[in-house]
Amino acid sequence: MQKTYHIDGMHCASCATLIQGEMKDISQITSCDINLINHTATLDFADDELPIDQLNKRIQPFGYTFEVPTSPSSEQTLTKANSTENPLHEKELSKTKREMRIAIPFIVLSLFLMSRMLGAEYGVLGIQAMPEGVHYFATRRLLPLAATFIICTIGRKYLKAVRTYIRYGKATMDTLVGIGTGFAYLYSLFITLFVTGLLFDLIHSAGLERFSQYLSQYLDPNRVFYEAVIIVIGFISIGKYMEQRTMSKTWQAIKALVNLQVKKARKLVAF
């Protein structure tokens, strides 16, 4: 018995590989075909069809969900290579578009501040260093707040992927992004709090100057990576939106081509 499902949450080849591996581990499933383009999974069952809740228990911990097509006709079109139906979820496209719009202002801010700081440090194009007060506010207040907002909103799914990897040992591209941006954010936050921030003053007031001196030997207080966190997550959000929009336009083009087929034919019979 064969059954086709929509897949919610899948967006890359590593996601498809993970889902396929989980389905093949189920003895009642003889084969699993994942279509990354139209976000569907076609399962062949050895006997009777398994309940969708049982299938979802295997993939929901990784952020994916099987959905039953709304009607028999839509299920049939999913299995056709020349399907005229656009199976991409509009809510997913809207979500990535919203994330992109949120990320763009933060990317512009980060690029501007980063270019000013690097340009002043290396003397590029005669860029002058920012006033000390402005530099302190940008690097110790503005960028930390901006990076915290980005990683707790748009980047939350990447941190969730890291947690899933720690718990289940299954990694995707989101896991790599989460590890990179997560460590960069935590390192920068540690510098801000313990080396140059509020906790630094508390350490000195408690008479623990040696601790701060020890940290200063190995950590450069002027090297934080908040802008890298913002730029990486932001550009990935832009890329995901562009990818989904391109896929949607591709399906629209296929639909237009299929609609060019002749719907009626006249048969001439000789008497």
| 63 and 126 part of one domain | no
| 116 and 50 part of one domain | no
Q: Which of 50, 78, 106 is the last residue of a domain?
A: 78
Residue 136 lies in a domain: yes
Round the average pLDDT of the chain to a whole number and report it: 81
Residue 265 lies in a domain: no
Identify the pLDDT of residue 104. Answer: 95
- Look at the block and give the residue holding tokens 């299954």: 170
- What's the CATH number where 57 sits? 3.30.70.100
To the nearest 10°, the Cα dihedral for 89, 91, 97, 98?
Answer: -160
pLDDT at 262 over 80: no
Q: Which of 29, 52, 78 is the last residue of a domain?
A: 78
Report CA torsion sign: 134, 135, 136, 140.
positive
**99-120 pLDDT, tens digit each:** 999 999 999 999 988 888 877 7
| 126 and 174 part of one domain | yes
**71-87 pLDDT, tens digit each:** 444 444 444 444 444 44
Identify the pLDDT of residue 150. Answer: 96
Q: Which residues span the domain enclosing 34?
A: 2-78
**26-51 pLDDT, tens digit each:** 888 888 988 877 788 889 988 888 88
Identify the pLDDT of residue 213. Answer: 67
Identify the pLDDT of residue 80. Answer: 46
pLDDT confidence bin for 212, thresholds 50/70/90 = low
According to DSSP, residue 164 is labeled H
Identify the pLDDT of residue 154. Answer: 93
Q: Are 203 and 212 in contact (CB under 8 A)?
A: yes
The pTM of this model reads 0.76
- Rounded Cα distance between 96 and 89, Å, is 11
Residue 255 lies in a domain: no
- Look at the block and give the residue holding tokens 């496209």: 93
- Rounded Cα distance between 134 and 140, Å, is 10
Report CA torsion sign: 214, 216, 217, 218.
positive
Q: How many domains does the chain have?
A: 2
pLDDT at 263 over 90: no
**123-174 pLDDT, tens digit each:** 776 677 778 788 778 888 899 999 999 999 999 999 999 998 998 888 888 9
pLDDT confidence bin for 237, thresholds 50/70/90 = very high
- Look at the block and give the residue holding tokens 């921030």: 197
| 156 and 63 part of one domain | no
Average pLDDT over residues 237-259: 82
| 95 and 162 part of one domain | yes
| 104 and 226 part of one domain | yes
Contacts of 127 (CB under 8 A, 6+ apart): 115, 116, 119, 120
Q: Which structure tokens are listed for 214?
A: 């020890």
| 58 and 109 part of one domain | no
Identify the pLDDT of residue 217. Answer: 73
